[in-house]
Amino acid sequence: MTAIASRAIHIAQHGGPEQLQLVRVTVGEPGAGEVRIRHHAVGLNFIDVYQRSGLYPQQLPVQLGMEAAGVVEAVGEGVTHLKVGDRAAYASNPPGAYCEVRVLPAKCVCKLPDAISFETGAAMMLKGLTAQYLLKRTLPQGGLNPGDFVLFHAAAGGVGLIASQWAKALGLRLIGTAGSDAKCALALVNGAEFAINYAAENFAKRVKEITGGKGVKVVYDSVGKDTWEQSLDCLAPFGLMASFGNASGPVAPFAPGILGAKGSIYVTRQTLFTHIATREATQAMADDLFAVVQSGAVKIHIAQRYTLENVQQAHRDLEARQTTGCTILTL
């Protein structure tokens, strides 16, 4: 059995960015259904912050990171869709992407098309697959059709910029929100038809003005606590509130009766890993993502790069909302 040395980022306890520690680990051979991959770039996501802080508790110590791209070095028994030397990218549980080399389940690892760089692959898998399941699989009653209004919070973030472009390609009228005028301008350049600075104005009131009082068919919300109440007021009757994150903190408990009072609306809490639970679903979603990126309809914006050693600063900047688009760790 070959043991390979790798730099990696571990946390020994939950807490702030200072818990992220660079360590040396040894990586063995993949078992049945697994692959070993040598990373060229690693993606940074808000779920990493949740896992580090303890909002999403982990069994400690844990190696963080949910997405990366690189080259397959070894393939375990039963893996048929990948071979040694393949360019590959993934978004996958369990965490562990903050490293040079790792072994992980093969079912969520996809061959990366030659036309897509390792950096782009690392930046787009978790966020791009999230945008895919939201716009294609997390749908209001009657679905979404060209011309329909949707509200997307954090529209200048990694998921938001991808979703804004993809929504435009689908003919949807996306209203984006962001926390500054500069971020709103970025959302508009990337496909949002309207952008609202929710730090400066009441976004629910503005949404009603934009939609002629009708509201939107769906709200996609990764912000959580700070946007929840007003988001419900943005929905048309029978509209869908699709929560998929807690950047401002978790939503407080609420009485189901308010859903009836606000127009018989629906609420759902989605997570990517339910959608990519099978090899077939992962590949189908990835194929859709790869196609829209290769077509040029969706461009992946890597706005920040940090070395693996500088991951603490990367987390600080992400939590302080100092980042836009996608962020990667370089090796």
Provide the CATH number for the domain formed by 4-127+273-330 in this structure. Answer: 3.90.180.10
Q: Are strands 4-11 and 21-27 parallel, antiparallel or unpaired?
A: antiparallel
306 pairs with which residues across the strands? 329
Q: Are strands 173-178 and 194-197 parallel, antiparallel or unpaired?
A: parallel
70 pairs with which residues across the strands? 39, 88
Please give the CATH topology (third level) of the domain spanning 139-269.
Answer: Rossmann fold (3.40.50)
User: Residue 10 contacts by C-beta under 8 Å, 6 or more apart in sequence?
Assistant: 20, 21, 23, 25, 61, 62, 63, 64
SS (H, E, C) 63-119: ECCCEEEEEEEEECCCCCCCCCCCEEEEECCCCCCCECEEEEEHHHEEECCCCCCHH
Average pLDDT of adjacent 10-residue blocks, the chain of 331 residues: 88 97 96 98 94 93 97 97 98 95 96 97 96 98 97 94 97 97 96 96 97 98 92 97 89 93 96 94 96 97 95 95 90 93
What's the pLDDT at 1?
58
How far is 205 from 215, CA to CA, in rounded Å?
10
Q: Which helix (H) or strand (E) holds 38?
A: strand 34-44
How far is 185 from 181, CA to CA, in rounded Å?
6
What are the domain boundaries of the chain? 4-127+273-330, 139-269
User: Residue 290 contacts by C-beta under 8 Å, 6 or more apart in sequence?
Assistant: 113, 116
What's the pLDDT at 323?
87
Q: In terms of Cα–Cα distance, which of 101, 169, 111 is closest to 135? A: 169
